[in-house]
Amino acid sequence: MSAEKRAQSPSSGGGKIEEHAKVDKEKPWRRLVRLFRYTRPYRARLVIAIVSLLVGAGLGLVYPWYFGELLGDAFAEQSTASLNKNTLILITTFGIGSVFVFIRHYLMSWLGERVVADLRLEVHRHLLRMTQRYFHDNRTGELLSRQSDDATRLQSVIGQDLSLALRNILTLIGGVTMLLVVSPKLTGTVLLVVPPLVIAANLWGRIIRKLARQAQDQLAQASGQLQEGLSAVDTVQSFTREDHEAGNYGQGIERAFKLFVKQIRARSWFMSVSSFLAFGAVAGIFWLGGHMVIDGRIAPDELGKFFMYTLAVAGAVGSLAGVVGSYNQALGATARLFEILDSEPEIQDAPDAIALAEPRGEIGFEGVTFAYGDRDLEVIRDFDLRIAPGQVCALVGSSGSGKTTVGRLLLRFWDPQQGRVTFDGHDLRELELASLRGAMAEVSQDPVLFSGSIRDNVRYGRLDASDEEIEAAAQAANADGFVREFPDGYDTIIGERGVKLSGGQRQRLAIARAILRDPKVLLLDEATSALDSESEHLVQAALERLQEGRTTLVIAHRLSTIRDADRIVVLDHGAIVESGTHAELMGRGGAYSRLVARQAALEPDRAAS
Q: What is the pLDDT of residue 14?
A: 47
Domains of the chain: 17-342 (1.20.1560.10), 360-439+520-530+552-602 (3.40.50.300), 448-518 (3.40.50.300)
Residue 347 has pLDDT above 90, yes or no: no
What band does 427 get if pLDDT is binned at 50, 70 and 90?
very high
Q: What is the pLDDT of residue 354?
A: 92
- Backbone φ and ψ for 400, nearest 5 degrees, come out as 85, 10
CA dist 578 and 583 (Å) reads 13
Say what the pLDDT of residue 368 is.
93
pLDDT of residue 2: 41
pLDDT digits (tens, 9 = 90+) for 298-309: 777 777 777 777
Single-letter residue type at 412: R
Q: pLDDT digit string (tens) for 356-399?
A: 888 999 999 999 999 887 666 888 999 999 999 999 999 998 88
Question: Mean per-residue pLDDT for 309-330?
Answer: 73
The DSSP H or E segment spanning 7 is: helix 3-8
- What is the pLDDT at residue 235? 66
What is the Cα–Cα distance from 526 to 565, expressed in whole angstroms? 14
- For residue 198, name the pLDDT band (cuts at 50, 70, 90): low
Highest mean pLDDT pick, 12-21, 55-64, 178-187, 450-459: 450-459
d(CA 4, CA 434): 22
- pLDDT band for position 430 (cuts 50, 70, 90): very high
pLDDT of residue 362: 92
Beta strand pairing call for 551-555 and 392-396? parallel
Burial (Cβ within 10 Å: 0-12, 13-18, ≥19) of residue 301: buried
| Banded model confidence at residue 12, pLDDT cuts 50, 70, 90 | very low
Given a cut of 80, is residue 324 above it in pLDDT?
no
Q: How confident is the model at residue 607 (pLDDT cuts 50, 70, 90)?
A: very low
Nearest to 383 by CA among 429, 344, 419: 419
User: Is residue 92 predicted with pLDDT exceeding 60?
Assistant: yes
Higher pLDDT, 572 or 195: 572
Residues in Cβ contact with 513 at an 8 Å cutoff, skipping those fewer than 6 apart: 441, 457, 458, 460, 461, 473
- The beta strands (E) that lie in 255-407 are given as 363-370, 380-387, 392-396
pLDDT at 236: 72
Q: Are 353 and 416 in contact (CB under 8 A)?
A: no
Which string of DSSP letters, residue by residue, matches 418-462?
EEEEEETTEEGGGB-HHHHHHTEEEEESS----SSBHHHHHHTT-
Residue 567 has pLDDT above 90, yes or no: yes
Rounded Cα distance, 320 and 166, in Å: 9
Q: Which of 530, 523, 252, 587 is nearest to 393 (CA)?
A: 523
Predicted pLDDT of residue 529? 57
Is 197 a residue whose pLDDT tops 70?
Answer: no
Span 220-234, pLDDT tens digits: 777 777 777 776 666
- Going across the sheet that includes 418-423, the strands are 380-387, 363-370, 418-423, 426-427
Q: What is the reported pLDDT for 234?
A: 61
Tell me the C-alpha to C-alpha distance, in Å, between residue 371 and each of 2, 3, 463: 21, 19, 35
> pLDDT over 90 for what percent of the chain?
14
Neighbours of 9 (CB within 10 A): 11
In eight-state DSSP terms, residue 357 is S
pLDDT tens sequence across 199-220: 666 677 777 777 777 787 777 7
Residue 384 confidence (pLDDT): 93
Instruction: Please report which helix (H) or strand (E) contains residue 46, including its range.
Output: helix 43-71
Q: Has residue 410 got a pLDDT over 90?
A: yes
pLDDT at site 296: 76
> How do beta strands 440-444 and 521-525 pair?
parallel
**Mean pLDDT confidence for 335-354:** 85
Share of residues in the chain with pLDDT > 70 (%): 84
Sequence-ordered alpha helix ranges (H) in 493-556: 503-517, 533-547
pLDDT score of 8 more than 60: no
Distance from C-alpha of 192 to C-alpha of 203, rounded to nearest angstrom? 19
Q: Report the chain's C-alpha Rg in angstroms.
A: 35
Residue 75 has what pLDDT? 56
What is the average per-residue pLDDT within 412-430? 92
Average pLDDT, stretch 53-69? 78
For residue range 232-263, what is the model confidence (pLDDT) as tens digits? 666 676 667 778 778 888 888 888 888 888 87
Residues 10-35 have a mean pLDDT of 57
CA distance 379 to 311: 72
Least confident of 419-433, 468-482, 544-558: 544-558
- Residue 568 pLDDT grade (very low, low, confident, very high; cuts 50, 70, 90): very high
- Please give the pLDDT value at position 7: 40
Between helix 300-342 and helix 194-231 the angle, nearest 10°, is: 40
The mean predicted confidence, pLDDT, of the chain is 79
How many residues comprise the chain? 609
Q: What's the pLDDT score for residue 428? A: 93
pLDDT at 121: 86
Burial (Cβ within 10 Å: 0-12, 13-18, ≥19) of residue 380: buried
